[in-house]
Amino acid sequence: MGAEGIVWELASELGFDLVGVAPPAPPPAAARLEAWLGAGLQGGLDWMERERPRLLDPKQLLPDARSIVMVGLVHARPAVALGDGARVARYAAGRDYHNVLGKKLRRLRRRLTERGLLGASRQVVDAGPLMERSHAARAGLGFESKAANLLHHRFGPWFFLGGVLLDLELEPSQTPAPGSCGTCRACIDACPTGAILEAGVVDAGRCISYHTIENPGPAPLELRAKFGAWVFGCDVCSEVCPFGQRAPDRGERFGTHAAVETGRLVDWLCAPAEGHGVRFLGSPLTRTTRGGLARNAAIALGNRPSEEGRDALLGALEDPEWRVRDAALWALARGHRAEAGVPEALDRALARPVDAGEREGARATRAAAEGPA
């Protein structure tokens, strides 16, 4: 058996659903990345600009690289909602994929080393400077969609990607993945915030996933009502995709984290910062920090008004973090402004002795929420 066959065999034994090989060359989407960054569509993802050289040249990650092995692990499952109807992206409902894929890739590298096939190597799971979707498309794992996802004709977009740069010479995959988006534009039409500007071009600054996960500050006022019930990520473009509706259920691979299974918006809004890491240990939701998750919960409560939510939001006007207070003020003004005691609470919040910038921001927040929805 050749080296390519051994890699396929070992990767399959480790449970990967998709395996392919790409050369350690600039990714096919390099020019598109350059144009995207040049247009400033990365939102606050400044690291992508800093890492541009390594994103465009994988050999800067591993100078001795001679191949890139790309793998896919399916995570498809039914839609995930909290007890009060709030939504969490399906991929984030269970164990953190960074840990799961990372362990599998380390085992793959170890087994290749044991067989005398591998010297230097480096693995990447999402967080590293590697254009995984582009390299994976070249390796035959799928085709890039109009929503800038990677689609597989059987698994849709519901799979995680990982990559290993090797100093082992492997024959690149030659067979492209079957399928294409064709004339379908379901994802473009369905995006709640209009973040998909055109086929393959996503404005991160308008993306719900970016703002509920990566954005460390207040969410844009003009987008909050469009967040709906999403508190971590967004699956809309994947859920409306015809390919996304065909995937087999593999939810048991990652399970459902207890914090998601029992989660409620009011609890996530009111939870203290202490213990946040313990409550969400092993979950991707740790990425938002306690303040980010509380901010997201407040916005969702504004979009899904309830008596219990109102009481929690009133308490959140005293939260130690400005982004949470700001979101709570917006949510109360949007969903409860005519209810007894709420206007007075908002007036007190605006009169609180804070710096001029925060006060002006709070006024703008209230005005935006009380304007046309």
Q: Are residues 251 and 262 in the same domain?
A: no
Mean pLDDT of 131-149: 96
**Same domain flag for 284 and 294:** yes
The answer to whether residues 331 and 225 belong to one domain is no
Could you give the angle at which helices 97-114 and 3-13 cross, rounded to 10 degrees? 140
Q: Kindly state whether residues 176 and 262 are assigned to the same domain.
A: no
- Please indicate whether residue 46 is annotated as part of the active site: no
Same domain, 132 and 175: yes
Nearest to 237 by CA among 163, 181, 182: 181
Structure tokens at 39: 């247009």
d(CA 338, CA 57): 57
Same domain, 330 and 186: no
For 98-109, what is each residue's pLDDT tens digit? 999 999 999 999
pLDDT at 372 over 80: no
Structure confidence by residue, pLDDT tens digits, 259-283? 999 999 999 999 998 999 999 999 9
Q: Kindly state whether residues 105 and 249 are assigned to the same domain.
A: yes
Pair of tokens at residue 244: 């996304």
Co-location of 235 and 298 in the same domain: no
Bridge partners of residue 73, in order along the sequence: 160
Identify whether residues 197 and 329 lie together within a single domain. Answer: no
What's the number of domains the chain is made of? 2
Q: Looking at 255, 276, 296, which one is the last position of a domain?
A: 255
How far is residue 77's CA from residue 95's CA, in Å, rounded to a whole number? 13
Contact by Cβ (8 Å): 286, 280: yes
The H or E element that residue 70 is part of is strand 67-74
Tens of pLDDT, residue by residue over 145-173, are 999 999 999 999 999 999 999 999 999 99
Decide if 157 contacts 241 (C-beta within 8 A): yes
Whether 139 and 73 map to the same domain: the answer is: yes
State pLDDT tens for residues 220-240. Answer: 999 999 999 999 999 999 999
Q: Which of 57, 64, 126, 267 is catalytic?
A: 126
Strands 67-74 vs 159-166: parallel, antiparallel or unpaired? antiparallel
pLDDT over 90 at 36, yes or no = yes
pLDDT recorded at residue 329: 94
Domain boundary among 226, 255, 284: 255
Confidence of residue 350 (pLDDT cuts 50, 70, 90): confident
Which residues span the domain enclosing 323? Answer: 257-373
Domain boundary among 233, 255, 277: 255
